[in-house]
Amino acid sequence: MIISKTPFRLSLFGGGTDFPSYYLKNNGCVVGGTINKYCYVTARYLPNVFDFKHRIVWSKNETVNNYKEILHPTVRSVFKFMNIQKGLEVHYQGDLQKNSGLGTSSSFCVGLFNSLYNLENKKVNSKKLALNAIYVEQKMLKENCGSQDQIWASYGGFNVINFKKNGTFNVNKIKISKKDLRNLDQNMFLIYTGLNRFSNDIERDKIKNLDKNLNKLDKINEITNLFIREIKSGISIDVCGSLMNEYWNIKRTLSNKVTNPFINEIYKIGLKNGALGGKVIGSGGGGFILFCCKKNKQKKFLNGFKKLPIIKFNFTNTGSEIIFKNI
Protein backbone atom coordinates (compact mmCIF):
# COMPACT_ATOMS: atom_id res chain seq x y z
CA MET A 1 0.00 0.00 0.00
CA ILE A 2 1.10 3.53 -0.84
CA ILE A 3 -0.27 6.81 0.54
CA SER A 4 0.72 10.12 -1.04
CA LYS A 5 0.13 13.54 0.50
CA THR A 6 -0.11 16.41 -1.98
CA PRO A 7 -0.64 20.09 -1.10
CA PHE A 8 -3.20 22.48 -2.50
CA ARG A 9 -1.94 25.80 -3.78
CA LEU A 10 -2.66 29.47 -3.32
CA SER A 11 -1.93 31.53 -6.42
CA LEU A 12 -1.39 35.16 -5.45
CA PHE A 13 -0.56 36.88 -8.74
CA GLY A 14 -0.27 36.02 -12.42
CA GLY A 15 -3.15 33.60 -12.94
CA GLY A 16 -4.17 33.56 -16.61
CA THR A 17 -0.61 34.02 -17.89
CA ASP A 18 0.05 30.31 -17.15
CA PHE A 19 -2.22 29.22 -20.00
CA PRO A 20 -0.39 27.89 -23.07
CA SER A 21 -2.56 30.08 -25.29
CA TYR A 22 -0.91 33.08 -23.59
CA TYR A 23 2.63 32.10 -22.56
CA LEU A 24 3.55 30.38 -25.84
CA LYS A 25 3.29 33.84 -27.40
CA ASN A 26 4.14 36.22 -24.57
CA ASN A 27 5.86 34.35 -21.70
CA GLY A 28 4.02 34.07 -18.40
CA CYS A 29 4.75 34.37 -14.71
CA VAL A 30 2.89 33.40 -11.53
CA VAL A 31 3.75 33.78 -7.86
CA GLY A 32 2.25 32.03 -4.85
CA GLY A 33 2.74 28.88 -2.87
CA THR A 34 1.48 25.61 -1.49
CA ILE A 35 -0.48 25.61 1.77
CA ASN A 36 -1.02 23.18 4.63
CA LYS A 37 -4.21 21.73 3.14
CA TYR A 38 -3.81 18.43 1.32
CA CYS A 39 -5.26 15.59 -0.68
CA TYR A 40 -4.37 11.99 0.14
CA VAL A 41 -4.27 9.21 -2.44
CA THR A 42 -4.07 5.61 -1.29
CA ALA A 43 -3.19 2.92 -3.84
CA ARG A 44 -2.72 -0.82 -3.47
CA TYR A 45 -2.80 -3.92 -5.62
CA LEU A 46 -5.96 -6.01 -5.37
CA PRO A 47 -5.72 -9.80 -5.09
CA ASN A 48 -7.37 -11.76 -7.88
CA VAL A 49 -10.29 -12.94 -5.72
CA PHE A 50 -12.95 -10.31 -6.43
CA ASP A 51 -15.53 -10.24 -9.20
CA PHE A 52 -14.02 -6.93 -10.35
CA LYS A 53 -10.50 -5.76 -11.25
CA HIS A 54 -10.35 -2.15 -10.02
CA ARG A 55 -12.02 -0.33 -7.13
CA ILE A 56 -11.98 3.49 -7.16
CA VAL A 57 -13.32 5.29 -4.10
CA TRP A 58 -14.02 9.03 -4.28
CA SER A 59 -17.48 10.62 -3.99
CA LYS A 60 -18.54 7.41 -5.73
CA ASN A 61 -17.52 3.82 -5.07
CA GLU A 62 -16.64 2.27 -8.41
CA THR A 63 -15.90 -1.38 -9.13
CA VAL A 64 -14.95 -2.17 -12.73
CA ASN A 65 -13.20 -4.86 -14.77
CA ASN A 66 -11.55 -2.55 -17.29
CA TYR A 67 -9.99 0.88 -16.76
CA LYS A 68 -12.07 2.17 -19.69
CA GLU A 69 -15.17 1.69 -17.51
CA ILE A 70 -13.86 4.01 -14.75
CA LEU A 71 -16.10 7.07 -14.40
CA HIS A 72 -13.52 9.33 -12.75
CA PRO A 73 -11.88 10.98 -15.79
CA THR A 74 -8.51 11.64 -14.16
CA VAL A 75 -8.15 8.10 -12.81
CA ARG A 76 -9.18 6.63 -16.14
CA SER A 77 -6.67 8.79 -18.03
CA VAL A 78 -3.78 8.16 -15.60
CA PHE A 79 -4.39 4.39 -15.77
CA LYS A 80 -4.25 4.62 -19.56
CA PHE A 81 -1.14 6.83 -19.50
CA MET A 82 0.69 4.38 -17.22
CA ASN A 83 -0.65 1.29 -18.99
CA ILE A 84 -1.91 -0.19 -15.72
CA GLN A 85 -2.30 -3.98 -16.03
CA LYS A 86 -2.75 -5.23 -12.47
CA GLY A 87 -5.92 -4.79 -10.43
CA LEU A 88 -5.78 -1.66 -8.26
CA GLU A 89 -7.70 -0.01 -5.47
CA VAL A 90 -7.48 3.79 -5.25
CA HIS A 91 -8.93 5.99 -2.49
CA TYR A 92 -9.10 9.79 -2.55
CA GLN A 93 -9.53 12.08 0.46
CA GLY A 94 -9.14 15.84 0.65
CA ASP A 95 -8.96 18.52 3.34
CA LEU A 96 -11.11 20.97 1.36
CA GLN A 97 -13.99 20.98 -1.09
CA LYS A 98 -13.21 20.16 -4.73
CA ASN A 99 -13.84 22.81 -7.41
CA SER A 100 -12.98 25.51 -4.88
CA GLY A 101 -10.15 27.27 -6.75
CA LEU A 102 -7.21 25.82 -4.82
CA GLY A 103 -5.93 23.49 -7.53
CA THR A 104 -7.55 20.41 -5.99
CA SER A 105 -7.98 18.56 -9.30
CA SER A 106 -4.32 18.96 -10.26
CA SER A 107 -3.19 18.01 -6.76
CA PHE A 108 -5.16 14.80 -7.06
CA CYS A 109 -3.66 14.07 -10.48
CA VAL A 110 -0.12 14.64 -9.19
CA GLY A 111 -0.78 12.62 -6.03
CA LEU A 112 -2.21 9.73 -8.06
CA PHE A 113 0.85 9.65 -10.31
CA ASN A 114 3.13 9.75 -7.27
CA SER A 115 1.30 6.88 -5.57
CA LEU A 116 1.25 4.68 -8.68
CA TYR A 117 4.91 5.23 -9.57
CA ASN A 118 5.90 4.31 -6.02
CA LEU A 119 3.58 1.31 -6.02
CA GLU A 120 5.48 0.10 -9.10
CA ASN A 121 8.82 0.92 -7.43
CA LYS A 122 9.67 3.41 -10.17
CA LYS A 123 11.63 6.59 -9.56
CA VAL A 124 9.85 9.85 -10.27
CA ASN A 125 10.88 13.46 -9.67
CA SER A 126 8.91 16.68 -9.32
CA LYS A 127 9.39 17.72 -12.95
CA LYS A 128 8.08 14.42 -14.27
CA LEU A 129 5.06 14.52 -11.97
CA ALA A 130 4.24 18.05 -13.13
CA LEU A 131 4.70 17.35 -16.84
CA ASN A 132 2.66 14.15 -16.65
CA ALA A 133 -0.20 15.90 -14.87
CA ILE A 134 -0.13 18.80 -17.35
CA TYR A 135 -0.26 16.33 -20.25
CA VAL A 136 -3.18 14.37 -18.77
CA GLU A 137 -5.25 17.46 -17.97
CA GLN A 138 -4.51 19.53 -21.08
CA LYS A 139 -4.01 16.87 -23.78
CA MET A 140 -5.91 13.77 -22.68
CA LEU A 141 -8.81 15.36 -20.82
CA LYS A 142 -8.82 18.51 -22.98
CA GLU A 143 -9.39 20.65 -19.90
CA ASN A 144 -9.23 24.42 -20.27
CA CYS A 145 -6.64 24.76 -17.54
CA GLY A 146 -3.29 26.43 -16.98
CA SER A 147 0.04 24.89 -16.03
CA GLN A 148 0.71 26.32 -12.58
CA ASP A 149 -1.40 24.02 -10.37
CA GLN A 150 0.37 20.84 -11.43
CA ILE A 151 3.79 22.42 -10.88
CA TRP A 152 3.02 23.71 -7.39
CA ALA A 153 1.52 20.38 -6.35
CA SER A 154 4.69 18.64 -7.53
CA TYR A 155 7.38 21.05 -6.30
CA GLY A 156 5.77 22.73 -3.29
CA GLY A 157 7.08 25.93 -1.74
CA PHE A 158 6.63 29.69 -2.09
CA ASN A 159 7.81 30.29 -5.64
CA VAL A 160 7.92 32.24 -8.84
CA ILE A 161 7.07 30.04 -11.83
CA ASN A 162 8.13 31.38 -15.22
CA PHE A 163 6.57 30.02 -18.41
CA LYS A 164 8.54 30.37 -21.62
CA LYS A 165 7.47 30.76 -25.24
CA ASN A 166 9.21 27.46 -26.05
CA GLY A 167 6.84 25.63 -23.70
CA THR A 168 9.31 25.10 -20.85
CA PHE A 169 9.05 26.40 -17.30
CA ASN A 170 11.34 27.07 -14.37
CA VAL A 171 10.58 27.19 -10.67
CA ASN A 172 12.44 29.73 -8.55
CA LYS A 173 12.07 29.65 -4.80
CA ILE A 174 11.53 33.14 -3.38
CA LYS A 175 14.20 34.01 -0.85
CA ILE A 176 12.11 35.07 2.11
CA SER A 177 12.62 34.59 5.82
CA LYS A 178 10.30 32.34 7.80
CA LYS A 179 9.29 35.40 9.81
CA ASP A 180 8.25 37.34 6.71
CA LEU A 181 6.42 34.34 5.28
CA ARG A 182 4.49 33.87 8.53
CA ASN A 183 3.73 37.58 8.54
CA LEU A 184 2.23 37.17 5.09
CA ASP A 185 0.00 34.18 5.78
CA GLN A 186 -1.04 35.49 9.23
CA ASN A 187 -2.51 38.52 7.50
CA MET A 188 -4.49 36.50 4.95
CA PHE A 189 -7.84 34.71 5.17
CA LEU A 190 -9.76 32.39 2.88
CA ILE A 191 -13.52 32.96 2.88
CA TYR A 192 -15.56 30.11 1.44
CA THR A 193 -18.45 31.36 -0.68
CA GLY A 194 -20.26 28.02 -0.68
CA LEU A 195 -20.56 28.32 -4.46
CA ASN A 196 -19.30 25.28 -6.34
CA ARG A 197 -18.18 26.00 -9.89
CA PHE A 198 -16.55 24.24 -12.83
CA SER A 199 -13.39 26.06 -13.84
CA ASN A 200 -13.41 24.45 -17.29
CA ASP A 201 -16.46 26.49 -18.32
CA ILE A 202 -15.03 29.76 -17.00
CA GLU A 203 -11.60 29.25 -18.53
CA ARG A 204 -13.13 28.32 -21.88
CA ASP A 205 -14.81 31.71 -21.89
CA LYS A 206 -11.53 33.46 -20.99
CA ILE A 207 -9.66 31.68 -23.77
CA LYS A 208 -12.38 32.65 -26.25
CA ASN A 209 -11.82 36.28 -25.22
CA LEU A 210 -8.01 36.02 -25.21
CA ASP A 211 -7.29 38.36 -28.12
CA LYS A 212 -9.33 41.22 -26.69
CA ASN A 213 -7.92 40.57 -23.20
CA LEU A 214 -4.21 40.56 -24.18
CA ASN A 215 -3.58 44.05 -22.79
CA LYS A 216 -5.24 43.05 -19.51
CA LEU A 217 -3.09 39.92 -19.21
CA ASP A 218 0.00 41.99 -19.97
CA LYS A 219 -1.03 44.29 -17.11
CA ILE A 220 -1.44 41.25 -14.83
CA ASN A 221 2.10 40.26 -15.80
CA GLU A 222 3.31 43.74 -14.81
CA ILE A 223 1.56 43.58 -11.42
CA THR A 224 3.04 40.12 -10.80
CA ASN A 225 6.58 41.27 -11.52
CA LEU A 226 6.06 44.37 -9.37
CA PHE A 227 5.04 42.14 -6.45
CA ILE A 228 8.11 39.97 -6.99
CA ARG A 229 10.37 43.04 -6.84
CA GLU A 230 8.60 44.31 -3.72
CA ILE A 231 8.75 41.01 -1.86
CA LYS A 232 12.51 40.73 -2.35
CA SER A 233 12.97 43.81 -0.19
CA GLY A 234 10.65 42.54 2.53
CA ILE A 235 6.96 41.85 2.98
CA SER A 236 4.66 44.87 3.00
CA ILE A 237 1.08 43.88 3.75
CA ASP A 238 -0.09 47.27 2.53
CA VAL A 239 1.60 46.82 -0.86
CA CYS A 240 0.38 43.22 -1.13
CA GLY A 241 -3.21 44.23 -0.42
CA SER A 242 -3.10 47.17 -2.80
CA LEU A 243 -1.67 45.10 -5.67
CA MET A 244 -4.16 42.31 -5.00
CA ASN A 245 -7.03 44.77 -5.25
CA GLU A 246 -5.62 46.12 -8.53
CA TYR A 247 -5.20 42.58 -9.83
CA TRP A 248 -8.76 41.59 -8.90
CA ASN A 249 -10.23 44.61 -10.66
CA ILE A 250 -8.59 43.38 -13.87
CA LYS A 251 -9.26 39.68 -13.38
CA ARG A 252 -12.99 40.21 -12.83
CA THR A 253 -13.28 41.69 -16.35
CA LEU A 254 -11.67 38.73 -18.19
CA SER A 255 -15.05 36.98 -18.38
CA ASN A 256 -18.56 37.73 -17.16
CA LYS A 257 -18.40 34.38 -15.34
CA VAL A 258 -15.54 35.36 -13.01
CA THR A 259 -17.73 37.18 -10.54
CA ASN A 260 -21.40 37.57 -9.61
CA PRO A 261 -23.49 39.73 -7.25
CA PHE A 262 -22.86 37.42 -4.27
CA ILE A 263 -19.08 37.50 -4.75
CA ASN A 264 -19.19 41.27 -5.27
CA GLU A 265 -21.08 41.66 -2.00
CA ILE A 266 -18.58 39.50 -0.08
CA TYR A 267 -15.72 41.55 -1.52
CA LYS A 268 -17.48 44.79 -0.57
CA ILE A 269 -18.00 43.55 3.01
CA GLY A 270 -14.33 42.55 3.25
CA LEU A 271 -13.06 45.99 2.23
CA LYS A 272 -15.63 47.73 4.44
CA ASN A 273 -14.37 45.78 7.45
CA GLY A 274 -10.69 46.51 7.00
CA ALA A 275 -9.30 44.29 4.23
CA LEU A 276 -6.68 45.97 2.05
CA GLY A 277 -7.53 43.88 -0.98
CA GLY A 278 -8.48 40.43 -2.14
CA LYS A 279 -9.38 38.20 -5.06
CA VAL A 280 -11.30 35.10 -5.94
CA ILE A 281 -8.89 32.16 -5.98
CA GLY A 282 -8.62 30.18 -9.18
CA SER A 283 -10.90 30.71 -12.16
CA GLY A 284 -13.60 32.60 -10.31
CA GLY A 285 -17.34 32.16 -10.07
CA GLY A 286 -17.23 30.79 -6.52
CA GLY A 287 -14.98 28.74 -4.29
CA PHE A 288 -12.71 30.75 -2.00
CA ILE A 289 -12.03 34.47 -1.81
CA LEU A 290 -8.63 35.45 -0.43
CA PHE A 291 -8.42 38.64 1.62
CA CYS A 292 -5.37 40.51 2.88
CA CYS A 293 -6.06 42.18 6.24
CA LYS A 294 -3.64 43.62 8.81
CA LYS A 295 -3.75 42.37 12.39
CA ASN A 296 -5.18 45.56 13.86
CA LYS A 297 -8.25 45.21 11.61
CA GLN A 298 -8.76 41.45 11.83
CA LYS A 299 -11.28 41.37 14.66
CA LYS A 300 -13.63 43.68 12.78
CA PHE A 301 -12.98 41.80 9.55
CA LEU A 302 -13.80 38.40 11.05
CA ASN A 303 -16.97 39.74 12.68
CA GLY A 304 -18.18 40.67 9.21
CA PHE A 305 -18.10 37.04 8.09
CA LYS A 306 -19.69 35.13 10.96
CA LYS A 307 -22.02 33.27 8.60
CA LEU A 308 -19.36 32.07 6.16
CA PRO A 309 -16.60 29.48 6.72
CA ILE A 310 -13.18 31.09 7.28
CA ILE A 311 -10.04 29.08 6.63
CA LYS A 312 -6.65 29.97 8.08
CA PHE A 313 -3.56 28.48 6.50
CA ASN A 314 0.22 28.49 6.39
CA PHE A 315 2.47 28.38 3.36
CA THR A 316 4.52 25.18 3.15
CA ASN A 317 7.74 24.03 1.51
CA THR A 318 6.98 20.50 0.35
CA GLY A 319 5.28 19.20 -2.75
CA SER A 320 3.74 15.77 -3.22
CA GLU A 321 5.34 13.19 -0.93
CA ILE A 322 4.90 9.58 0.08
CA ILE A 323 3.89 9.30 3.73
CA PHE A 324 3.33 5.53 3.84
CA LYS A 325 4.86 2.71 1.80
CA ASN A 326 4.41 -1.01 2.38
CA ILE A 327 4.53 -3.16 -0.75
Model confidence band, residue 205 (pLDDT cutoffs 50, 70, 90) = confident
Integer Cα distance of 30 and 10 in angstroms? 11
pLDDT reported for residue 212: 84
Integer Cα distance of 262 and 281 in angstroms? 15
Tally of CB atoms within 10 A around 98: 16
Nearest to 34 by CA among 227, 243, 236, 316: 316
Integer Cα distance of 69 and 82 in angstroms? 16
Of all residues in the chain, the percent with pLDDT exceeding 90 is: 83
Domains within the chain, CATH numbers bracketed: 2-176 (3.30.230.10), 178-311 (3.30.70.890)
Pairing of strands 188-192, 288-292: antiparallel
Q: Which helix (H) or strand (E) holds 115?
A: helix 104-119
Residue type (1 letter), 64:
V
Q: Are 317 and 260 in contact (CB under 8 A)?
A: no
Pairing of strands 88-94, 54-57: parallel
Chain mean pLDDT for the chain = 94
Model confidence band, residue 217 (pLDDT cutoffs 50, 70, 90) = very high
Angle between the N-to-C axes of helices 148-155 and 104-119, in degrees from 0 to 180, rounded to the nearest 10: 50
For 159-187, what is each residue's pLDDT tens digit?
999 999 999 999 999 988 888 899 999 99
Tally of CB atoms within 10 A around 209: 15
User: 102: which residues sit within 8 A by CB, 6+ positions away?
Assistant: 8, 9, 10, 35, 37, 96, 281, 282, 287, 288
Integer Cα distance of 306 and 208 in angstroms? 38
Q: What phi and psi, each to the nearest 5 degrees, are found at residue 163?
A: -110, 130
For 46-70, what is each residue's pLDDT tens digit?
999 999 999 999 999 999 999 999 9
pLDDT reported for residue 208: 78
pLDDT reported for residue 74: 98
- Whether pLDDT at 158 is above 90: yes
Of all residues in the chain, the percent with pLDDT exceeding 70 is: 99
Span 238-265, average pLDDT: 93
pLDDT reported for residue 175: 86
Span 154-158, average pLDDT: 97
Tally of CB atoms within 10 A around 240: 21
Residues 265/271/275/281 CA torsion (nearest 10 deg): 40
Integer Cα distance of 129 and 66 in angstroms? 24
Question: Does residue 255 or residue 199 have the better pLDDT?
Answer: 255
- Whether pLDDT at 286 is above 90: no
- Give 190's strand partners: 290, 311
For CA atoms 241, 21, 282, 102, the dihedral sign is negative
285 alpha-carbon distance from chain centroid: 15
